[in-house]
Chains A and B, each alone.
Chain A
Amino acid sequence: MATDPAVRTVTLTIDGRAVTVPPGTTVYQAARAAGIEIPIFCYHDRMPPLGACRMCLVKVDRMGKLQTSCTLPAADGMVVSTTDPEVVAGQEAILEFLLINHPLDCPICDKGGECPLQDQTFRWGPGRSRFVEAKRDFAKPVSLGPVLTLDRERCILCWRCVRFGEIIAGDDALKGFERGFTSEINTPFTLPVESKFIGNTIAICPVGALTSRTYRFRARPWDNEPVPSTCTHCGLGCAVWFDVRGGEIVRTRAREAPAVNDIWLCDLGFFGHDYVASGERLTAPLVRRDGRLTQASWEEALDLVASRLRAARDRAPGRVAFLGGRRLSNEDALVAARLFGEVIGTPHRDHRVDAPPGGASLEVAWGLRAPLEEIARGDVFLLVGCDVTEEYPILWLRMKAAVDRGAALLLLHARRLEVRRHARWERLVRADRLAAETGALADALERGAAGPPPGLEAAVAAIAAGRRVHVVVGRFALDGPGGSAVLAAAVRIAEHSGGVLHVARGKGNDIGAQRFGLLPGAGGWPAPEILRRAAAGDLDVLYVAGSDPATAVTDRSAWDAARRGVGFLVVHEAFLSATAEAADVVLPSLVLPEKDGTVTNLEGRTLPLRAAVRGPGAARGDREIFSLIAARLGALFTYGTGDELFEALRAATPGVEAGAILPVAPVPARLAGDVPAGAVAAGAGGGSAELILATIDHLFTQGATTGRCRGITALAGAPHCLIHPDDAARLGVEPGALVELATGHGAVVLQARVTDVTAPGQVLLPRGFDAVSAYALVRWPHAVVAVTVRPLVAAAAGGAP
C-alpha cells in the first residue's frame, strides 16, 4: 500500500512482531490490527477508552507497572508483551475479581453462548476461584421498562451502557448510582427508561446484565439461525440480523453497515418484529359475499379481481387506480407499476397515501440529498418540523457525533424535541407559525449584515458560519399549514448557505415505490385526488397494496367517502386492517421480513431483503400476486429468479446497484405557489382558533404492525395528547386525566399529558394509534384545526346524563 510520506507512522513491537500504525493508535488497536487478541470488557471501539475494567493489561518494556492497552497510545520503539507471565497473572487476577460477585447462572442466562465474560473466562481465566465468601446480593431481575431488564448481580460495571447513553445516543438513559461494590446501573430518577436506543445497550453489554424482555428465555444463541436483511420501519434501511428459531423471528440485532447504521439500531428496529409471527395474520383470500368477507380460494379471488379489472379497463383504463407502496419491496413496486401502467394502462398510481392535498409533500421528491456519512460530517443541522429521534432515530446518531465535534444543532418545530439539550438554538412555535418563522429565518440570512430579528441571532450566526449546512425539512413542516412556504424558505436557506436540503419524508420503502413507478404517470392523479375521484364515482376499481389508507389518509372522511364511492376495492394485506375490513377482496400477502428482494432507503440506497421466515398459510408475495393477475389479463411477467428481477430493476432505472446510492430527484430551485400561511380551519368552537390541533410523529405507535409487537405497544403507551400547562390550567385539565378533543368533524377521548413540550395554544396528537385516530378530527384541505378540550371528569361532575 502506498504511504504518504507526510503521514508519520509509529512502529512498535507486540509479542515479538513489528506492528506499524498511525500515530494516535492505542496499543490495543495496534494489537488487534496485527491479529493479536487482547481481552476487553469496558473498551468498545465506538467509544473513547475508559480504562475501568483493567482486563486489557499488557507489559511494556521500561514501564514499571502493567499498562491498560486500551488507553495506552502506541509509541515508536515500544516493546509490548501480551503473554508475559506478569500479564497472565494480572489478567487472571482481574477475571477472578470480576467473577467473585458474578453469579454462575450461565445455563439460564440469555447471554450464555455469546457472552464475552464466559468466553474470556474460558480463554484467560484462572480456572478455579478462591472465593468462599457470600456473593453480592441484589433483587433480580429489575424491570427498567417494557423492553429492558436489569440483573445487577450479573453486572460487572463496565459502564458501556452508561457511556452509550452519554456518548452515542446522547440521552443519558442509564447512569451509575451508589459507590464501590454497591455500585449499580439504573435510570436517572425515572422509570421506565427513556430512550429510543436502549436495545443497543443490551447488544453491547458484555454479560447478561441487560437483557431484552421480549427475547428473555426464548432461545439459546446457538439455536438461532441469523438471516441478514434490512429493517423496513422508518425508511433509513438499517442492516439487521433476524434471528430465527423454529420458523419465527425471535430477535432482531443490528448488522454492521458502516455507511448506514454502523453497528446501531433504534428500538423500533430491535423490538419491531413480533407482528410477523402474529396469530392474526391473514392466511387465505377473503371475498365479500352478501356483504361479509368470507374465505375463498386463490383461484376464485384472483379470477374475481381480474374480471373486475378487465371490465374497468375495457370501460376506460383511467377508471382503475392504485394506492400504496410503502410496505412493498422494490421488485413488488416494479411489477405493480408494470401491471397498472402497462397492462391496465392507468396513470393513477401513488404511494403517497398519507400526503394531504395542497401540502408540500406532493411537490417534491422524498428523500435525503446526501449520504448519511456526509451528513455525519456536517457542521450545521437545521431541523424544520422534523422530530429526528421520533422519525429517523439513526439519523440522529450521525448528527450527535457531529454535534460532539462542534456542529451546531438548530431546531425549529411546534414541539420541543428530546434532543434539545444538544441544540445551540431552539424555536418552539405553534404549528400555524412554522412557515412564517422559517421565512423570517431565510429573510434574516439573506439580509446578512442588517442584523437578525431578536431570537434568531444564534441560528443566523451558526448558519452563516457553517460550511457544511444540512437543512432537514420533515413531514410536520411539509404537511402542515403553509407547507409549501416552509419548503420554499428552506430552499432559500439551503441555497444561501451552500448547504443541502433534505426532504425527510417517507417510511418503509416509500423511496423505492417513488423510484420504481408508484407515482402518477402522465395525467395521473396524486393520492388525494384519487380519493376525491373515487368518492365522486370516477373509479371502478381501487387497488391497494403495501398501505392501509383507512388509517394512513390524514382525513378519515376523505377515505370513507372514497370507499363509498368506488365500486370495487382490492387490498393486499397481512392483517384484517381497517382498509381490508372494507374491501371487496382481500389477498393475504407476505410482509417484508418474509421477502427476498431489495428496498430503497431514504438516501436512495438499494439494500437487500432476505426472507427470514416463510409466510403463514396461503399468503403470497405481492409481486407474485401482481404477476398472477397480469397473467389473467393476458400479460406474462417472466421473472424466473430474484436475480432476473433485480436485472429488470437495473434496466428500468439505470444507476441502481446493490448497496449503492442513486440520488433521488433534486429539489426544484423555485417551487409552486402556496396556500396562505397560517390557515386554520374554524373548529367546533366556531370562533377564533384559541386552541389548535396538530398531529405529530411518534416512533412507538399502535398501528397494524407496531400494535402487534409486544415491546413497541408497551413503549407506545396509552393514546394521549400533549397540552401545554397554561392551557391545561385554564381548562381545568389535570395531568393524566381523560379529555375529549372535539373539532367540527369529530371527537376522540384520550389521556392528556400536560407538558411544555408543546407550545401554548396548541394540542399535539401523536398519529399511529389506530384506536384513537387523529385523522377523524381533521378535514382537508386544512392540516390543523381548531379544537376544544373538555376534561371528562369535570363533565361527569356536571351531571351530564
Chain B
Amino acid sequence: MTTFAMPESIVLRWAQTPGMTELEPYRRAGGYEAARRVAAGELAPEAVIEALVASGLRGKGGAGFPTGQKWKFIPRQAPVTYVVVNGDEGEPCTFKDRTLLEGAPHLLIEGVLIAALTVGARKAYVYLRREFYRARRTLEAALEQARAAGLVGRGVFGSARDVEIVVHSGAGAYIAGEETALLESLEGRRALPRLRPPFPAQAGLYQRPTLLNNVETLCHVPVILTLGPERYKDYGPPALFSVSGHVVRPGVYEAPLGVKLRSLIFDYAGGLRPGRRFKAAFPGGSSSMPLVADHLDVPMDYDSLRVLGSMLGSAAVIVIDDSADMVEIIARTVEFYREESCGKCTPCREGTIWATQVLERILHGRGRPEDLALLEGIARGMTGTCFCPLGESVPPSLVASLRHFRDEYERYIAGATRGH
C-alpha cells in the first residue's frame, strides 16, 4: 500500500483531541471565541450568515440544503423563534454526530449559541437519539460547565442576550430524524412527518419559526467563523464520512468533499480485508442507492452522486465485499424501513411490508420467476408517491440490486438455498 498522508482535520480534530469535553481546554484552544464575538455584536447576524453562504456549508443530516440560505429564511421580526438541533442520527451506519457529541460537546454548544444569537432565538433544543446515553451525559455535563461560566442561559457572555439550551431524548424512532417528525416528537406526539408547507422556518416547533440543523452542521459553524470562509473552503470544504462495513479501519474520517470513493475505502479506511474484492457500497447511508465497482472513482459530493441516482446523504459509506449476499443485504435493508415506517402514508407502510415478504420468500427458497418483476413493480409504486423521504429511500436500493445483482436473485429462485 502506498503511503497516504491523511489531511489535517479542522472539525473532527476537536473531537479527537483529548480533553475537549471540558470547558477550559476548549476555551484555551480558542473555543467560544466566535460565539463571544457574535454575542458582543462584533459579528453581526448578517455577517455570520454571509460567512456561512460564502463557505458553501450544506446540511450534514442528509438533505444537503445550503445552511446559510436556511438561516436567512428565518424571519427576523418573529416574537418567538427556536433553534432545534437534530441529533437523532438514526441513519444506519452513520456515527459522526455521536463522535462529535461525545468528543467535542462544546463545539456543538458554541454552534448552537451562534445560531440562536444570529436568528434571535432565546431557546434551543437538542433532540438526541434515544440510544445516545453517553453522548447525552457528556453534553449535559458540558452544558452545565458553560452555564456556570455564563456562556449559556441568562445574559450569555455578559451580553443582554439569553440563550437557554435544553437536551431532549427521543423515544427511539428512525423517523424522528426527519425534521418535521422530530418537531412532532419534541412537542410530545407520535413522530409522524408534517405536511410542508409550512416549512419549519415559517412554522416549526409550536408553530413558531424554527431553525433546524444537524449536529455536524452546527459544529462546522464556529470553525467557519474562526478560520473565515475562504480558509475553510481550502479544506475541501471538509465533510465527515462514517466509513463502515468490510474495511480494515472503520471509523469517522474528515475528508474534502469530492474525495474519491476509492480513496475513502483504500486510503482512509485501510482498504478491504485481505483477499476480498469490492462488491458495492452505500455512499450516504442505507437510504442511498448502492454503488458498484464501476463507481469507485466517483467524487463523493452532492452533485456527482445525484447524477448517478444516489446521494451523499449523511455521508455514511457502507462497504460491502464479495463475501456478502446482496439479496440478504437488501432484504435486511428493506426490513429496516418496514420496521421504521411510521405508518402514516400508504405506499411506505404497505410497500415495505410487501417487499419484505417477497424478499423473505425468495431467501427461503420459495421465490418465483415473476417475483423480480413484482419487486420492481412494488418499487415503482413507491417511487414518488410516499409522504416523506423514508419510503422514497427504499426503491433505489431495491432497483439497483435487481439491476446489478440480478444473478444472485435468480440463483435463489432457481432453487438455491440460503448460504450457498
Residues of chain A whose beta carbon lies under 8 Å from any beta carbon of chain B: 49-55, 57, 64-66, 71, 89-90, 93-94, 96-98, 100-101, 130-131, 133-134, 136, 156-157, 159, 176, 178-183
Contact = CB atoms under 8 A, between A and B. Distances in A.
Contacts of A49: 195
A182 B343 CA distance: 8
A133 B340 CA distance: 21
B385 interface: yes
B369 interface: no
Contacts of B343: 157, 176, 178-183
A176 B341 CA distance: 14
B380 interface: yes
Given A54-B386, A55-B346, A97 B339 contact: no
A169 to B, nearest CB: 18
Contact of B387 (A54, A100, A176): A54
A179 B341 contact: yes
Nearest to B353: A181
Q: Which of B175, B343, B347, B361 has the most CB of A within 10 A?
A: B343
A55 B384 CA distance: 13
Nearest to A134: B357
A209 to B, nearest CB: 14
A50 B342 CA distance: 14
B374 interface: yes
Given A97-B350, A133-B358, A66 B341 contact: no
B384 A65 contact: yes
B330 interface: no
B351 interface: yes
Nearest to B368: A132
Contact of A130 (B192, B374, B385): B374
Nearest to B392: A65
Interface in B303-321: none
B345 interface: yes
B228 interface: no
A180 B352 contact: yes
A25 B220 CA distance: 42
Contacts of B352: 180-181
A681 B248 CA distance: 89
A179 B357 contact: no
A272 B349 CA distance: 38
Contacts of A182: 343
A526 to B, nearest CB: 53
B385 A52 contact: no
Top 10 A-B residue pairs of the complex, sorted by shortest distance between their CB atoms: A93-B381, A183-B343, A97-B350, A180-B341, A65-B384, A133-B357, A181-B353, A180-B343, A52-B344, A52-B345
Given A52-B344, A179-B341, A94 B381 contact: yes
A71 B318 CA distance: 36
A100 B350 contact: yes
A90 B385 CA distance: 7
Contacts of B249: none
Given A179-B342, A180-B339, A66 B349 contact: no
Contacts of A134: 357
A53 B343 CA distance: 10
A181 B349 contact: yes
B173 to A, nearest CB: 7
B354 interface: yes
A178 B353 CA distance: 15
B350 A57 contact: no
Nearest to B357: A133
19 contacts: A50-B195, A51-B345, A53-B345, A54-B345, A66-B384, A90-B381, A94-B385, A97-B346, A97-B354, A134-B357, A176-B190, A176-B343, A179-B173, A179-B340, A179-B342, A180-B339, A180-B343, A181-B349, A181-B352
Contacts of B190: 176, 179
Contact of A97 (B192, B351, B358, B374): B351
Nearest to A99: B350
A157 B190 CA distance: 15
B342 A180 contact: yes
A537 B405 CA distance: 101
A64 B351 CA distance: 21
Interface in B350-381: 350-354, 357-358, 361, 374, 377, 380-381
Contacts of A159: 344
A133 B173 CA distance: 27
Nearest to B360: A133
Contacts of A133: 354, 357-358, 361
Contacts of B346: 52-55, 94, 97-98, 156-157
B40 to A, nearest CB: 40
B58 interface: no
Contacts of B338: 180-181
Nearest to B342: A179
Q: Which of A49, A93, A131, A176 has the most CB of B within 10 A?
A: A93
Q: Which of B173, B339, B343, B350 has the most CB of A within 10 A?
A: B350
Contacts of B195: 49-51, 71
Interface in B154-190: 173, 175, 190
Contacts of A136: 353
Contacts of B354: 97, 100, 131, 133
A97 B339 CA distance: 17
A178 B190 CA distance: 9
A130 B381 CA distance: 13
Nearest to A48: B195
A89 B173 CA distance: 31
A130 B314 CA distance: 35
A50 B193 CA distance: 10
A237 B195 CA distance: 37
A183 B361 CA distance: 23
Given A51-B387, A54-B386, A100-B354, A94 B349 contact: no
Contacts of A53: 345-346
Contacts of B351: 97
Q: Which of A65, A90, A97, A176 has the most CB of B within 10 A?
A: A97
Given A94-B385, A182-B343, 19 more contacts: A51-B345, A52-B345, A52-B387, A65-B385, A89-B380, A93-B381, A94-B381, A97-B346, A98-B350, A131-B354, A133-B357, A133-B358, A157-B343, A179-B175, A179-B341, A179-B343, A180-B341, A181-B349, A181-B352
Contacts of A176: 190, 192, 343
A70 to B, nearest CB: 10
A125 to B, nearest CB: 13
A96 B381 contact: yes
B347 A93 contact: yes
A183 B192 CA distance: 12
A71 B380 CA distance: 22
A282 to B, nearest CB: 53
Q: Which of A52, A57, A66, A101 has the most CB of B within 10 A?
A: A52
Given A54-B347, A54-B386, A97-B354, A130 B342 contact: no
A311 to B, nearest CB: 72
A649 B173 CA distance: 65
B384 A157 contact: no
B357 A93 contact: no
Contacts of B381: 90, 93-94, 96-97
Contacts of A183: 342-343, 349
Q: Which of B339, B342, B353, B377 has the most CB of A within 10 A?
A: B353
A93 B345 CA distance: 13
A66 B385 contact: yes
B207 to A, nearest CB: 12
Contacts of B345: 51-54
A180 B385 contact: no
Contacts of A178: 343
A182 B339 CA distance: 9
A134 B349 CA distance: 16
A320 B347 CA distance: 73
A662 to B, nearest CB: 43
B139 to A, nearest CB: 27
A272 B214 CA distance: 55
